[in-house]
Homo-oligomer: A and B are copies of this chain.
């Protein structure tokens, strides 16, 4: 809020007489047991222990590889050691994509080596590489307006101007360069695509991430340059001289492999009240060690559930899922909905936006359960968490389950720093701020204490979209 707007707002508050003002709403009271659980969670060490352990003892966990299998074994042992019930793995089959060699160089006008990484699902160049002229598009929108003759046979460069946003909305605005830019370039006849990383940092660590090839589009080589390398290409383009790149990208699809979801429970006393589903994803991209994406999410939700596990049995069963294979296409979440969609779920929510503080919550609850949100509002306020005006229901992993009509509670994390590190080699333990991680655990503990014990019936809702 600007200073001028602040003055105006003050004037508006001061102007009405007492009689004209609506009475402020009376906050819902906070159950002292909920407050006690919340405040104790601010001293949590379980979540950090999980992130530290997973990043140190397993490391990267690319979907459907032996590393992800080792991570599942690690998870089963950890969840059993913590005392969770019904700890087990549910496996499924999926296509395996593996990174190969990846190098790039400017051949002309100014020879330089570049830093880039293949995007998930990228096609491959010949082993000896691909050399071609570059067509520079500063944005996805410029490419969308391009004629095929400007693209055919070329290496397409797609830039972006992404800036950090607290709610992550700039990922939605600039992400299409990665999500669908390569497929569009392929349709227009491009030989390959390099994008400027969809990221908000300035380091030579490119941001990978999946790209999508609709049916009928043959994958072409598709890779992300680091942000500084993207800016370098744009500076060369400003000089008006033709640019030639040589790319060597040899990723491959390696048939079908096994992935799986790791599941654990805090049993409830009332099986008919429905399950409270929470979790994050166990797999990661292969460049870092998946600390903020998403060891932190499984750690936060597991640590919160552990606090309920160690107290009186809650009314509802809390089910914690460490979803597999989120990154390459949400396989674990879809599989969970396929297997468990028929069971009654009260609510669903996932933690998959880093490890920084929760600043807002949003819900999608049936009318009969509205008081649950009011109690959440009161109980979360001391953590600095406000109630958003939107409708909740976010997440790749719980999305397929929520699409079946399950109520949603989203705890939104501050994403200002998230896209500095997202999908890069820098996603390592040092990115975790232990204090902010604890605030997350306190927020999720509070949510579980309120929702798992809510006396209201929490029935089906219309999904957000």
Contact = CB atoms under 8 A, between A and B. Distances in A.
A289 interface: yes
A59 B110 CA distance: 8
Contact of A58 (B110, B227, B424): B110
Contact of A204 (B113, B205, B239): B205
Interface of A: 52, 55-60, 109-113, 115, 202-205, 227-228, 231-232, 235-236, 239, 288-289, 424-426, 428-431
Given A59-B111, A205-B205, 7 more contacts: A56-B239, A57-B109, A59-B112, A204-B205, A204-B288, A232-B429, A235-B429
A30 to B, nearest CB: 38
Contacts of A112: 59-60, 289
A203 B205 contact: yes
Given A429-B228, A429-B231, A430-B231, A113 B203 contact: no
Copies in the complex: 2
A76 to B, nearest CB: 17
A205 B287 CA distance: 12
A221 B279 CA distance: 44
Contact of A236 (B56, B111, B202, B227): B56
Contacts of A429: 228, 231-232, 235
A429 B430 CA distance: 26
* Chain A facing B: main interface SS: loop
Contacts of A228: 426, 428-430
A70 B204 CA distance: 23
A404 to B, nearest CB: 38
A318 to B, nearest CB: 30
B236 A430 contact: no
A424 B426 CA distance: 14
A200 B431 CA distance: 14
Contacts of A204: 205, 288, 424-426, 428
A232 B426 contact: no
Q: Which of A203, A239, A425 gathers the greatest number of chain B CB atoms within 10 Å?
A: A203
A431 B231 CA distance: 13
A184 to B, nearest CB: 28
